[in-house]
Structure 1
Amino acid sequence: MPQRHGQDEPEREFDLRWADDAEHKEPSARARMLAARWKENPPGPVPFRAEPDHVARRQRRSGWVSTAIVLGCVAGVIVLLGYVNFRGAY
């Protein structure tokens, strides 16, 4: 492994152990930013899961909408190919 910043491997290993064993570890920049933001304006409660009725109703409806869109596109392509084929016959 190449040497970094003039340190040999035993000194570097000591620095890593010393840093890992520190009693106080500084939070990340994102953690500090969120802590500051939430101190002034705490977030509201968020449920772990959505209500089952809402999810089931949305999935059922979107399934039919997706199926109608796919079938409509397939029908449109068939009609377009038939028209092109019909115009090319004459």
Structure 2
Amino acid sequence: MQLDPEEMTPVINRIKRAQGQLAGVLRMLEEGRECEDVVTQLAAVSKALDRAGFAIVASGLQQCLANGADEFDVKKMEKLFLSLA
């Protein structure tokens, strides 16, 4: 299933933000920052990536519904969703 690049703009922005946060986590580790601060930022990166994944799956499910997809396509999307859960 092809993703619509225009619909993915918010997802792309979220992933770019997560990329910046991850770079910050690496800097924090290199600087020897407090464990709590590093883990807090790492959790934020993880959550941002999870939300991006869920947004992609949601878009795919909407396409399935709009295009009258067969049960196989819906099952594939369900599997992708569960891989993120």
TM-score range normalised by the length of the shorter chain: 0.3 to 0.5
Higher relative contact order (CA 8 A, sep 6+): 2
Name the structure with the higher helix share.
2
Which TM-score applies when normalising by structure 2?
A: 0.35
Whichever of the two has the greater Rg, that structure is 1
Which TM-score applies when normalising by structure 1?
A: 0.33
